[in-house]
A and B are shown apart, each in its own frame.
Chain A
């Protein structure tokens, strides 16, 4: 780990000014940043500790039913906030399916958005990686293909964004509030993370010094509360990143689907909103056939970066199954194994 200057600003304005300097990085929960520093994957010369900015630590109900989540709210506190979990159950389930209890107690909302990829070649400093060291190439190409993107990737980079939390958020039209040297601005979460193109080293649209201050969910997002699930395929049942995951939320009336929200995780450099799949479901009766059609629409543009296309079919099945779970209704409480495919689907065969 290279050494750094440590500063602890007392106001957002001070934080933005300190964070705008070349080589500066913001520190919040530190659960990803400390790991990156120890691996020499990031070498900031200044850490700007924003954890004392108390105004970023609040969960605020907005008039009309939306919610504003401060960037410093810890994952565990948000997931266990009862009014929040009731209105946005898929978000709570996604949070509780991520990492471990210790990490969720420290990790923050803003840090979750800004966590780096877990691509194993990004993590191995001996490997070529355009995201970590621009221009060096991509050793992930031609690799095992287990964690590679199947949507939105480029020749320069096939890494995926590892967040669970962001998947239901992007499905529910979350907006990111940002403070920066030029003042405040807002960006829809769907436009916050960048696809790699030829500049994979830039994960998000944030400019130097820009600080995520809050994430907002609109009032319409709560209308999906009765039929909202997150489903996450992992290599082990707990404390693992997604192989593929999906958030599915349905607004249902008289047994029919009025509106659908679908997003995928682990398939691209950003949480992937699947609007074409949502269009398939609007006005449909919920059944396995239409869920499968929606899943095929969600992955219509998918292509593997290597010879193995397994994860595209896995993603289709996870989307279809998440829809079946959502149609069956949100459980009264997040299941003992959050987002686990090992939980039975009420009233349906185990294999969709």
Chain B
């Protein structure tokens, strides 16, 4: 089988021919498409630094084979902001000081975007913490992260209401 795939990354169609079947989605993004915002932490699905949206759902890019992403829609941290206007989750992370060194932050933010879209956590901090347990932060910024996710979720809901009105 050919090692050529087509996928959409941050809204742009990309055609890629891989030189090796072993390439993960994470390595495709970082090493072939120069999208280095997505981080490689553990590379084994345990830390969440590589979290991206695949067909709208948050997943670990390190545990996803690039070849299996043929025809997929991928959104990375680089695809969130609208020009200079930050995505509400990005803005909330700044407002709540939800990071220290920042290495886990792209994964945290993509995971939070996925969590809000899933709509299972509501305004319960415990459900947010549980829902974010796939993202480790070695600086221990968890309090700020939880506050940012709750705040961003509120803002996104308000935006949705404003648009509907």
Contact = CB atoms under 8 A, between A and B. Distances in A.
A4 B65 CA distance: 12
Interface in B1-60: 1, 3, 20-22, 24, 43-46, 48, 51, 54, 57-60
A338 B45 CA distance: 21
A102 B49 CA distance: 11
A194 to B, nearest CB: 26
Contacts of B131: 101
A3 interface: yes
Contacts of B127: 336
Given A3-B22, A101-B58, A239-B133, A106 B64 contact: yes
Nearest to A96: B130
Given A6-B21, A38-B44, A103 B134 contact: yes
Interface of A: 1, 3-8, 27, 30-31, 34-35, 37-38, 47, 49, 51, 76, 80, 99-103, 105-106, 238-239, 336-338
A336 B118 contact: no
A8 B68 CA distance: 9
7 contacts: A34-B62, A37-B22, A49-B68, A103-B45, A105-B59, A238-B133, A337-B130
Contact of A35 (B51, B63, B129, B132): B63
Given A34-B24, A35-B45, A101-B134, A106 B111 contact: no
A85 to B, nearest CB: 11
Contact of A102 (B22, B24, B51): B51
A191 to B, nearest CB: 30
B120 interface: yes
A336 B64 CA distance: 28
A30 B67 CA distance: 12
B60 A6 contact: no
Contact-residue bracket for chain B: 35 or more
Nearest to B124: A336
B114 interface: yes
B63 A5 contact: no
B126 interface: yes
A4 B23 CA distance: 11
A51 B45 CA distance: 20
A38 B64 CA distance: 12
B115 interface: yes
Contact of A239 (B44, B63, B134): B134
Given A30-B65, A47-B21, A106-B64, 20 more contacts: A6-B3, A6-B67, A7-B1, A30-B63, A30-B68, A31-B63, A34-B45, A49-B67, A49-B68, A99-B134, A100-B133, A100-B134, A101-B115, A101-B118, A102-B48, A103-B60, A105-B59, A106-B54, A336-B126, A336-B127
Given A4-B22, A34-B24, A105 B58 contact: yes
Nearest to B48: A102
B144 to A, nearest CB: 19
Given A4-B21, A6-B21, A336-B130, A101 B111 contact: yes
A102 B134 contact: yes
Interface in B124-145: 124, 126-127, 129-135
Contacts of B54: 106
Contact of A106 (B43, B60, B120, B132): B60
A76 B57 CA distance: 10
Contacts of B67: 6, 8, 49
Contacts of A34: 24, 45, 62-65
B64 A30 contact: yes
A337 B127 CA distance: 7
Nearest to B52: A102
Contacts of B111: 101-102
Contacts of A105: 57-59, 114
Nearest to B18: A6
Nearest to A28: B68
Contacts of A101: 58, 111, 114-115, 118, 131-134
B1 A6 contact: yes
